[in-house]
C-alpha cells in the first residue's frame, strides 16, 4: 500500500442483506436447517438481525469506521418469467426490504453522519444490467442525500470486466465484489486498476462464512485470521473483509462479534490502517500522483 505510517491496510465492510428477521424468515431457516431456535424471532418486537447500533458502538470503541452496503432488490412485478423460474430469485424476494422505510433511512443518515460509509449492494441480477445498477445507486443517494462512491454485488455476482464498466459508467469509484471460493489473497495483495484509470477494485480477502465457525472452534477461526494478518503485513497488502450484520446476533451466531473485535484490535496493534474502502480510496487512490503511480505499477 506504499504508506510509511502503516504496515498494511484492513478494509471493513458489511453487506446489508437481511436487516429484518420476520416470521417468514424464521420459518424458512427452521425448514432449511431443521433448527427450531430460529422461531425465537417470532417473539413480539424481536428482530435479532437489526445490528447497526451494536456494530457502530463496537467500531466507535475501537476508533474505526466501516462500510455498509445497502440492497435494493427489485419487486415481484419487475421480475421476468425466466427469473421467476429461478429458485434464487424467490429467495431474494423473501428477504427483500424497502430502503424508503423510515427506520432504514434514519439508520443510513446516522451512519453517514457518524463517519461510516454507506454504499451500494447491487441486487442479485444487476451485475450485467447498467440501467438497474444506476437505479439502485440513485435510490440510495436519494435517501441518503449525497453521492456514494462504491459497493459490492449481491452474492459476489460479477462478470469482469463488463460489470466494472457498468460500475464506472454510473459514477462509482470502486467495486469490492471480486471474491473467491475461500479465504486468502487469490487476487493479489493490492487494489486493482482494471482500466488503468481512477476506477479501483478491492479484492475480498474473506467473508465470515469462509472461516471455521467461531462459535464451535474459535481458536481455529482465529488462527486463520492471524495467518492472513501476518501475510498482509509481510506484503504491504490491502486486506478486505466482509461481516454481514446478522452475524453480530450473538445468540444465533456466537463467537463472531468477539472474532471481529479481535481482528481489528490485532490489526491496529500490528500497525495497520483500518477503515472503509471509500475512506481508503479517498486517502490513497484519489490524487493525481497516486493515479499515475498506479498506472505505472499496473503497466
Query: Could you give phi then psi for residue 117, rounded to 5 degrees?
Result: -90, 135
* Maximum Cα interatomic distance, the chain, rounded to a whole number of Å: 58
pLDDT of amino acid 139: 93
Q: What are phi and psi of 15, to 5 degrees?
A: -85, 120
Residue 95: the pLDDT is 67
Average pLDDT over residues 169-196: 96
Quick one: pLDDT at residue 298?
Answer: 42
Give the Cβ contact number of residue 133 at 10 Å: 24
Q: Quick: pLDDT tens for 75-126.
A: 555 666 766 566 566 566 566 688 888 999 999 999 999 999 999 999 988 9
Please give the model's pTM, rounded to 2 decimal places.
Answer: 0.87
- Give the pLDDT score at 100: 84
Min mean pLDDT across 23-37, 139-153, 251-265 is at 23-37
Give the model's confidence band at 290: pLDDT under 50 very low, under 70 low, under 90 confident, else very high. very low
| The three cell numbers locating residue 225 | 485470521
Half-sphere exposure (CA, 13 Å, Cβ side) for 221? 22
Among 115-124, 210-219, 269-278, 285-294, the least confident range? 285-294
Residue-level pLDDT at 118: 98
Residue found under cell 491496529: 268
Per-chain mean pLDDT for the chain: 88
The fraction of the chain above a pLDDT of 90, given in percent, is 71
Q: Give the pLDDT of residue 236.
A: 97
What cell does 209 get?
462464512
Predicted confidence at residue 287, as pLDDT, reads: 72
Q: Does position 206 have pLDDT exceeding 50, yes or no?
A: yes
- More confident position, 280 or 47: 280
> Residue 205: which region, alpha, beta or left (left: phi > 0; alpha: psi -120 to 50)?
alpha
CA distance 68 to 105: 13
d(C-alpha 131, C-alpha 144), whole Å: 20
Rounded alpha-carbon distances, angstroms, from residue 4 to 7, 45, 193, 218, 275: 7, 49, 22, 33, 17
Q: Could you give all domains of the chain from N- to C-terminal order, each with its CATH number?
A: 9-298 (3.20.20.370)
Find out whether 222 and 186 touch, Cβ atoms under 8 Å.
Answer: no
Interval 182-193 mean pLDDT? 97
- Quick one: pLDDT at residue 74? 63
**Rounded average pLDDT over 268-293:** 84
Grid coordinates belonging to 223? 488462527
Q: What is the pLDDT of residue 219?
A: 98
| pLDDT for residue 227 is more than 50 | yes
- pLDDT for 1 equals 79
The band of 28, judged by pLDDT with boundaries at 50, 70 and 90, is low
pLDDT of residue 89: 60
Residue/partner pairs of 34-41 with CB below 8 Å, 24 or more apart: 37/252, 38/252, 40/251
Amino acid at each position: 500500500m506504499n504508506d510509511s505510517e502503516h504496515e498494511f491496510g484492513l478494509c471493513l465492510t458489511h453487506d446489508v442483506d437481511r436487516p429484518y428477521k420476520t416470521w417468514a424468515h424464521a420459518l424458512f431457516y427452521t425448514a432449511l436447517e431443521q433448527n427450531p431456535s430460529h422461531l425465537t424471532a417470532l417473539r413480539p418486537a424481536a428482530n435479532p438481525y437489526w445490528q447497526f447500533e451494536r456494530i457502530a458502538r463496537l467500531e466507535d470503541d475501537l476508533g474505526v469506521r466501516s462500510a455498509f452496503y445497502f440492497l435494493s432488490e427489485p419487486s415481484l412485478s419487475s421480475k421476468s418469467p425466466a427469473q421467476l423460474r429461478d429458485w434464487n430469485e424467490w429467495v431474494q424476494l423473501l428477504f427483500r426490504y424497502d430502503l424508503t422505510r423510515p427506520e432504514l433511512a434514519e439508520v443510513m443518515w446516522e451512519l453517514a453522519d457518524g463517519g461510516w460509509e454507506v454504499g451500494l449492494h447491487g441486487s442479485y441480477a444487476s451485475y450485467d444490467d447498467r440501467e438497474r445498477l444506476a437505479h439502485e445507486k440513485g435510490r440510495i443517494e436519494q435517501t441518503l442525500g449525497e453521492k456514494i462512491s462504491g459497493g459490492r454485488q449481491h452474492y459476489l455476482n460479477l462478470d469482469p470486466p463488463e460489470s466494472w464498466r457498468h460500475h464506472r459508467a454510473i459514477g462509482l469509484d470502486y467495486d469490492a465484489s471480486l471474491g473467491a471460493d475461500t479465504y486468502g489473497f487469490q487476487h493479489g495483495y493490492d487494489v486493482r486498476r482494471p482500466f488503468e484509470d481512477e476506477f479501483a477494485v478491492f479484492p475480498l480477502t474473506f467473508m465470515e462464512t469462509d472461516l471455521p465457525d467461531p462459535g464451535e472452534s474459535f481458536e481455529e477461526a482465529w488462527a486463520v485470521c492471524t495467518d492472513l494478518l501476518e501475510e498482509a503485513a509481510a506484503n504491504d497488502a490491502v486486506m478486505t473483509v466482509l461481516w454481514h450484520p446478522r452475524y453480530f446476533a450473538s445468540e444465533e451466531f456466537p463467537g463472531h462479534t468477539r472474532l471481529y473485535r479481535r481482528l481489528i484490535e490485532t490489526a491496529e496493534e500490528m500497525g495497520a490502517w483500518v477503515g472503509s474502502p471509500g475512506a481508503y480510496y479517498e486517502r490513497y487512490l484519489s490524487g493525481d500522483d497516486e493515479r499515475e503511480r498506479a498506472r505505472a505499477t499496473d503497466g
